[in-house]
Structure formats: structure tokens, C-alpha cells
Chain A
């Protein structure tokens, strides 16, 4: 069993997860507004908008991994593995979309 963190750290953790949740929710709504076809006016910036959607998706995933799954306190190997997964998946999706 892991050693339990001290009380001040737990209080800080509560505030941190609340801030992360607010940022994740805001990023979700922002990505919705940016998605191609959501704007009432037609635009030829679909590819640029999808790049923004992918960037927001990658940031959201990293926030979940780092702060909700607590990988920010995990051994370095796990941090590298999760960052590697994020980079490979999102860059592959974007690369195939843009080609």
C-alpha cells in the first residue's frame, strides 16, 4: 500500500482537480464551436480548424492522464509511455486527416 500524502497536499489536490475539470469542460465547448460546419457562416478553414480541434483533444487527454490518473507523480517510465501514446495517436490521426 502506498504512503498517504499529507493533509495540505490533499487540499491542494482537490483544488487542482476542480481547476482541471473546469479547463476540460471549457476545452470541450471550445472544440465544439471550432468544429467544421458548426459556424453559421461558411469557411474554407476546415483543415486549420481540425488542427485546433486535435490540439485541444491532445491537451485534454494529457490533462486527464497527468492530473486525474495522477501520472504527474508516477515513475518517469510511465510518463514517457503515456506521452508517447498521446503523440503517436494524435499525430497519426492528424497526419492521415490532412493527407
Chain B
């Protein structure tokens, strides 16, 4: 997937190394990522249209959310993405044991995010903020669908960790694919966090 004539790889020792243009993660995973981004984008705009129809009610409900938990969860997911990006670099270096540890750290951050989200849901529901409130209806659907993606991401990370035990030569591609999906989960959360917690 390299465009001919641009960013040619380094061939001589005297010239500094230059990276060739490529499609990290492969075309199949990118089709899935772009499709997901499209549908989530539609959900985001739909939410904002409903919010515009009842600004006062939505804004009042939004102020019941615990922004501190939202910020903590954002930093936890960003840190998971850092570990995931470092895992891809470690695989490219051939440091497979290190890559496996980094992928496990990525997954651990994902589990921590889930625990915080479950605590937040429990806290909101126990204060009577259920789907009977229009804003909280959107809140539970957005965060729930996102959490399903995160669970799928954990499964895919598990496949990548298992792949690193294998001696066949597919390692960079499999790890790149799983990490690309994980970054998409992080990307979607950044929008959800701004939309639900901050734009009030």
C-alpha cells in the first residue's frame, strides 16, 4: 500500500532513514474503523439535535454527571493507547516479550475503565437517573455501546497476545490490527466525553 515515488525507504547508510508510506493495520480493519466512525458520527449529531430541542432539560441533567470520573476514564484510555502504540513499536523492534507485556497493560487499563464506568452507572442509577430522563437515555446508550466496543477490543487484544506466542511470521500485522481497533475506542471516547460531560 505504498504510493510510488514518495517517501522512499532508506537504502544507503549515508542517508538518514526515511519511512515509506503504508496503511498500518491493513485495509480490512480500516473499513471496519471508518464504518464505525461514520455510524458513531451520525449518533453524535442525532444526540445534539435532540439536545437543541430541550436545551434546559439536557443541560440540567448533564450537570449531574461526575466530570472527575469522566476525566479519569479519559486519561486511563489515553494511557492504554500509549501502551498499545508502544506495543506496536516493540513488535517492530522484535521485542516480543515486551510487546506482550505492553498489550497486557493496555488490557488492564481497559478493565479499569470498565470498572469505573460500572461504578459511575451504579452511582447514577442509585440517584434515580435512569432512562426515563431523555439525556440519561442517550448517556446509557452511548456509554453502553462504547463499552461493548471496548469488550470486543479486549477480545481482539487477547488474540494479539496469543499470536505473540506463535512462531509464524504474521505478528506485526495482527498486533497492528488489534491496536488500530483499540485506538478507535479511545478516539470515540474522546468525542463522547466532550459531548456528554463538557458541552453543557
**Interface of A with B (CB < 8 Å)?**
1-10, 13-14, 17-18, 21, 24-25, 28-29, 31-32, 34-38, 50, 53-54, 56-57, 60-61, 64-65, 67-70, 73-76, 78, 81-82, 85, 88-89, 92-93, 96-97, 99
Do A64 and B186 touch across chains, with their CB atoms under 8 A apart? Answer: yes
Given contacts A68-B183, A69-B25, A96-B45, 20 further A-B contacts (CB under 8 A): A1-B170, A3-B9, A4-B172, A7-B93, A14-B86, A18-B82, A25-B78, A32-B71, A32-B198, A35-B67, A36-B198, A36-B200, A68-B81, A69-B187, A78-B23, A78-B30, A85-B38, A92-B45, A93-B44, A93-B199
**Interface of B with A (CB < 8 Å)?**
1, 3, 7, 9-10, 16-17, 19-25, 30, 34, 37-38, 41, 44-45, 48-49, 51-52, 63, 67, 71, 74-75, 78-79, 81-82, 84-86, 89, 92-93, 169-170, 172-173, 176, 180, 183-184, 186-187, 190-191, 193-195, 197-200
CA distance A97 to B7 in the complex (A): 42
Do B183 and A69 touch across chains, with their CB atoms under 8 A apart? Answer: yes
A82 cross-chain contacts in B, Cβ below 8 A: 37
Do B52 and A64 touch across chains, with their CB atoms under 8 A apart? Answer: no
Do B186 and A74 touch across chains, with their CB atoms under 8 A apart? Answer: no
Top 4 nearest A-B pairs by Cβ distance?
Answer: A6-B17, A57-B194, A21-B82, A35-B198
Minimum CB–CB distance from B52 to chain A (whole Å) comes to 5
Do A6 and B10 touch across chains, with their CB atoms under 8 A apart? Answer: yes
Residue of A nearest to B88 (CB): A70
Do B3 and A75 touch across chains, with their CB atoms under 8 A apart? Answer: yes
Asked if A29 meets B71 with Cβ closer than 8 Å, knowing A1-B169, A8-B17, the reply is yes
Interface residue SS majority, chain B: helix
CA distance A36 to B59 in the complex (A): 10
